[in-house]
Amino acid sequence: MTQVVLASHNAHKLEELRRILAPLVPGIELIGYDGPEPVENGVTFEQNALLKARAAAEHTGLPAIADDSGISVDVLGGCPGIFSARWGGPARNDQANVDLLLWQLSDLVDEHRGAAFMCAAALALPSLPAPVEGNEGTESHEVAVLEAWRGSVLRAPAGEGGFGYDPIFLPEGETRSAAQLTAEEKDAVSHRRRAFTALSTELLRRLP
C-alpha cells in the first residue's frame, strides 16, 4: 500500500475521500494530517489546493492530496468562491455563511439563482532533486484540477445531511438539496467526486 496524506484536519472529509478514492486508486492508504496548515492566500481554488498539498508533502515527506472548494453564484460574479468559508464574517460559521447568501439573493427569481459547487483537487509529491543539466524537462511534482457541480440556490435550507452550503444547493436534475442526498448519492455526483476522479489518473501515473 502506498500512503498518501490528505492535507486536512477534517475527519469528515477524510472519510468522504476514502470512499471516493478506494475504487478509483486501488493500493493507496489515505491517512490524516495533523501538521501545520499554510495561509490560504491564493486567488484561485487551484492555488489554495496546491498550497495545502505542498505544505503537507513537505511536512510529512509523503505524497499529499488536498482540495479547495466553495460555492460560486452566477449573479454574484462567482462569489463567494474562494471566500465561501468566511462569507458570513470572522466567525467562519456555516449558518452565518448560509444566512448571508440567502439574504443577498432574497429578491431574485429562480432563473437568476444559478450556482455551482467548485472543487480543485491537488497532488504534491515530496521535493524532488533538481533536474540534471540537459534534462530540464523533468515533470512537475505538483498538479491541480478543477471541476464543477451545477445547480441553483434554494430559497430556504432543506435537509439535515452534508455540511456548509449543502442545505441550500439544489443540484441540476434533482428535486432534493445536496443535504437531502445520501452520502452514497452525493459521492457519486459531487464536485469533490468529479475533481478527485480527474485527479485519480495523475495519482495512478505518478505514485509508485
Q: What is the pLDDT of residue 128?
A: 57
Q: Mark whether 68 is an active-site residue.
A: yes
Q: What is the pLDDT of residue 132?
A: 44
Q: What is the pLDDT of residue 137?
A: 42
Among residues 67, 68, 99, 110, the one annotated as catalytic is 68
Instruction: Give the chain's residues under pLDDT 70.
Output: 128-140
C-alpha to C-alpha distance for 155 and 124, rounded to whole angstroms: 39
* pLDDT tens sequence across 12-69: 889 989 999 999 999 999 999 999 999 999 999 999 999 999 999 999 999 999 999 9
Q: What is the pLDDT of residue 12?
A: 84
Q: What is the pLDDT of residue 138?
A: 45
| Residue extents of the structural domains in the chain | 2-132+142-206
Q: What is the pLDDT of residue 56?
A: 97
Domain 2-132+142-206 sits in CATH at 3.90.950.10
Query: Which residues make Cβ contacts (< 8 Å) with residue 135, sequence separation at least 6?
Result: none
Q: What is the pLDDT of residue 127?
A: 72
